[in-house]
Amino acid sequence: MIHLIVGNTGSGKTTYSAKLKERNNGIIFSIDKWNKTLFLTDKKPTDGLDWFLERIERAEKMIMELVSQLENAKTDSILDLGFSKFEHREKFRQFAESNGYKLKMHFLDISKETRLERVMKRNNEKGKTFEFEVTKENFDFMESWFEKPSKNEIKDGITITE
């Protein structure tokens, strides 16, 4: 089973993924961890969103290959990859469908106020889900970037609210 963990910045995707892992013994793929480990040390101040998106695309090719191996081993994949856009979620749905894999969406529908509070707390505490600082400017950008899943898109999934 492939689990798509969907939610805007600060919704608790990484925390939710860890709890899901405890319940089903899956493997978590967190794009924040991949970005921090593989790319952030090379980022220049002038590198913007396109720089990140290109690297995320490369990382996801590897993730899809690993997900296929896990599916063959009957091990769940928990994808904490942001999934901010319908197109991004659709790419993984089509991947699952074309390979005969089961897929479940988990949508964390958490208020903006709660998410902002969580992000600022995470920035200050730098606890176990902290990978890099999310500024208020970055948070605000994601508010306009994120495309909330439609009811049809999450009809067979799970929605988590506060």
Tens digit of pLDDT for each residue in 37-91?
Answer: 887 788 888 888 788 788 888 999 999 999 999 999 999 999 999 899 999 999 9
Helix (H) or strand (E) holding 112: helix 112-125
Global pTM value: 0.85
> Which pLDDT value is given to residue 90?
96
Helix (H) or strand (E) holding 138: helix 136-145
* Distance (Å) of CA 55 to CA 64, 79, 81, 88: 14, 16, 13, 14
3 exposure class (CB count in 10 Å sphere: 0-12, 13-18, 19+): buried
> Which pLDDT value is given to residue 160?
93
Instruction: Locate the domains of the chain by residue range.
Output: 2-161
Residue 8: phi and psi, rounded to 5, are -75, 170
Alpha helices in 4-107 (DSSP H): 13-24, 31-38, 49-72, 86-99
Topology of the domain comprising 2-161: Rossmann fold (3.40.50)
CA neighbor of 162 nearest in space, from 16, 4, 3: 16
Task: Supply 71's token pair.
Answer: 């599916």
How far is 122 from 47, CA to CA, in rounded Å? Answer: 24
> Model confidence over 105-142: pLDDT tens digits?
999 999 999 989 988 888 878 877 777 778 788 888 88
